[in-house]
Amino acid sequence: MVEVKNGSRSNLLTNTREKNNMSYTKSKSTKRFNFEISRNDTSHQAGSNAVTISTNPSSDRYSTGTSTMRMTVKEARALNLFLTNELAPSTDDSIVVS
């Protein structure tokens, strides 16, 4: 387990690799969200390669219960591509975000 300090908040990174069954789990926690990826290279069982995003039960800005979204690694890659394309810096300076 590795703890990374970023400014005033702390992000917790966990990385586990087991050589016997080639499983891999990595997680990251922020103030509002928990992110986790689980991979098993040798398993073809449904759900063995998944990405999970869950909310923390409460924060200073939001008062909600815990929600979890689970997707396949393929779906997570599609989400990553979409976010990368849409959140890339714009070359058009006339766009104003309010």
Query: 2-37: per-residue pLDDT in tens?
Result: 444 444 444 444 454 444 557 889 999 998 899 999
Q: Where are the domains of the chain?
A: 2-79
Which H or E run contains 80?
helix 73-86
Query: What's the pTM?
Result: 0.60
What secondary structure letter does DSSP report for 89?
Answer: P
- 53-to-37, 68, 73, 89, 96 alpha-carbon distances in Å: 9, 6, 12, 25, 30
Q: Which of 26-30, 45-49, 85-89 has the lowest mean pLDDT?
A: 45-49
For the chain, percent helix, then strand, then coil, each to nearest 5?
Answer: 15, 45, 40
Residue 15 · residue 38 · CB < 8 Å: no
